[in-house]
Structure 1
Amino acid sequence: MKEGKKSGFGIIGLGRFGMALTKTLAEADAEVMVIDEDESKLRRVRNYVQDAFKLGKLTKEALEDTGIGECETVVVCIGERVDVSLLTTLNVINLGVPRVIAKADSIEHGIILERIGAEVVHPEMETATRLAAVLLESAALDMMNLNDDYVVSEIKVNNWLNGKSVRDLHLEKYALKMIALERGSSSTIVNFSQEDIVAGGDAIAVIGKFSDVDRFERKVMNRE
C-alpha cells in the first residue's frame, strides 16, 4: 500500500463474498490487499492483488503490521463468527481507517456493527458485485428496497450507455421497467419517451427484482 494519503481497499476474509468482492475490485484495476487465515485461498488471489497476508489472529497489532490501516476502505467479510467479526471490525476502526464496512449475517449482528461505527452489508440482500460497484462509484448510485424481491435502483449512465435511446437500453430483456430519467442534478423526468437519449451525467431509475437489477448492472459495468 502507498504511504501517506490513505488509499485502496482492504478485504478481511476470503469466503464466497470476500473472494467475489476481491476479484471484482481487482478486475476494475483497484488497489486491493487481502487478509485470510487460509493459505490456499490467498494463493488464488495473489496474482491480482497488491498484498496478501496470512493471519490466524486478527489482533490490532497484527492488523497494523500488515499496513491495512493505510487503506481508505476496509471490508470485514467475516459474518459467521460474530465475536471475531465484531472485534476485527473494532480493531480496524481503531486503526483510523476512514471507511469500514462489515458483513452481517443477522439483523442483530448488523445493529451491533453499526453501533461500533461500521457500515453494514447483508449478503442475502447485496451481492459482492453490487458492493464493488458502489465502492468504485461506477454503476450503482442508490437502491431502495420495496420488499424481499423488488427494488428501485438508480444507475449512472456510463460510456457504454451514453448516447443510447431509452428503447435501445432493452430493459425488458432483464424484466426491468424504467420509471424516471435523472437529467444531471437539475431535473427528474418521469414523462420520458422511448426515443429520449441518455447521456453522461444522467441516471436512470429502474424497478425490478433485485437479481434482475444486479444482472443488468453487471452488464453495464463489464461494458464500461
Structure 2
Amino acid sequence: MSARNTDDSGIVVIGLGRFGSRLARSLTHLDQEVLTLDRNPERVQHWSTLLDRVVQADSTEEVALRQLGVADFRRVVVAIGASVEASVLTVLALTELGIPQIWARATSEKHAKILGSVGAHHVIFPEAETGERIAHLIVSKMLDFIEFGDEFAIAKVRVPAALVGRRLRDVSPTDRYGVMVVGAKLPGERFHYAGPDTVLKPESMLVVEGSIDQLQRFATLS
C-alpha cells in the first residue's frame, strides 16, 4: 500500500493501543488521511472495519516501512506504549527514512530523553494529553493551546508569514479572522501585551484567543 503523492494531510499512526486508536480516530474526524500500522494481527483485524487504512507490519524494520510508502509521509506518530524497545527502534527507522516530523509517545521521563536523542521531534505523554488534543497540534501550526469549552481557546503560534512586518491596527485580526492577539514575545525578551501599534515581527511568538478552527486558520495564513 503506497502513499505516493501524499500531501501534508497524510499522517501515519504506528501502534493501535488505546491511545493510538483514539488518536487515529480523532485525526480521521479532522478529515486527515491516516495510515495506521500495528504488528498485532488481532488489533489490525479489529480496527480494519473502523479505520480506512490499517496494515499489519513490524514498524522497527526500515525496509517494511519503506515498502508501505511511509517515507512519502511528512508526519508520523509512534504511539507504541507496551514496548520501549519497539518504540525507540521505530523512531530510529523513521529517522533513517528522513521523516520531517516524528511524534513519539513516552511512558516515562527516561523514555522521553531516549526518544529525543534518537530523533523524535515531538515527545508526548498520553496520560496527560488526550488523543483529540494531540490530533489538533499535529494537523495545525499551533505550538500549544488550552481549550476552555464553548468554542473558546487560547493558543501560542508563530507570526503567520502573511502578517510579518505589519501593525495589528492594519491587520485587524478580530474583524478579519475572528481572533484576538493578546500578546507577543520575542526570543530572549519578556512577554508584552499587544496593542494597535504592535508590529508582528517574524521571530515573535503570539498568544491568540478564539475558537480552535479560527486559531488554526490564523496560524496557517501565508
Superposition TM-score tier, normalisation by shorter sequence: 0.5 to 0.7
Other-structure match for 2:135: 132
Q: Are the aligned partners of 1:141 and 1:153 in contact in 2 as well (CA < 8 Å)?
A: no
Q: Do residues 204 (structure 1) and 209 (structure 2) align?
A: yes
Show structure 2 runs of 5+ residues with no match: 147-152, 158-173, 186-191, 196-205, 217-222
The residue aligned with 1:167 is none
For residue 182 of structure 1, what is the aligned residue in structure 2?
Answer: 181
Other-structure match for 1:63 = 65
The residue type equivalent to 2:181 in the other structure is E
Q: CA deviation at 1:183?
A: 5.4
Would the aligned equivalents of 1:26 and 1:48 in 2 still touch at CA under 8 Å?
Answer: no
- 1:72-83 aligned at under 5 Å gives the runs 72-83=74-85
Q: What is the identity, as a one-letter code, of the residue corresponding to 2:208?
A: A
Percent of counterpart pairs with the same letter? 28
1:6-45 paired onto structure 2 within 5 Å? 7=8, 8-45=10-47
Give the counterpart letter for 2:19 in structure 1.
Answer: F
1:5/1:31 CA distance change after superposition, 3 Å:
closer
After superposition, the Cα gap between the structure-2 partners of 1:56 and 1:142, relative to the gap in structure 1 and judged at 3 Å, is: closer
Per-residue displacement from partner, 1:171-192 (whole Å, max 9, x unpaired)?
xxxxxxxxxx5259798459xx
Deviation of 1:23 (Å): 0.2
Q: Distance in 2 between matches of 1:57 and 1:141?
A: 28
Letter of the aligned partner of 1:79 in structure 2?
G
Distance 1:121 1:182 in 2: 27
Residue of structure 2 in register with 1:98 after alignment: 100
CA deviations 1:46-88 (Å, max 9, x no partner) are 3565532102463111121111111110001112311111111
Amino acid at match of 1:83: E
Aligned counterparts of 2:64 and 2:3: Cα–Cα separation in 1: 19
Query: Normalising by the residue count of structure 1, what TM-score does the alignment of the two structures yield?
Result: 0.63
User: Which residue identity lines up with residue 113 of structure 1 in the other structure?
Assistant: L
The 3 A distance-change label for structure 1 pair 64 and 115 is same
Equivalent residue, structure 2, for 1:172:
none
Once residues 65 and 32 of structure 2 are traced to their aligned partners in structure 1, the CA distance between those partners, rounded to angstroms, is: 21
Residue aligned with 1:26, SS: helix
Mapped to 1, the partners of 2:59 and 2:100 lie a distance apart of: 23
Query: Contact 2:3/2:69 (CA < 8 Å) preserved in 1?
Result: no
- CA offsets, 1:142-182, max 9 Å, x none? 259xxxxxxx95278xxxxx88xxxxxxxxxxxxxxxxx52
In structure 2, distance between residues paired with 1:18 and 1:43: 15
1:141 Cα shift?
4.4
Q: Indicate the residue corresponding to 2:87 in structure 1.
A: 85
Q: 2:144 aligns with which of 142, 145, 165?
A: 142
1:104-123 correspondence to structure 2 within 5 Å: 104-118=106-120, 119-123=122-126
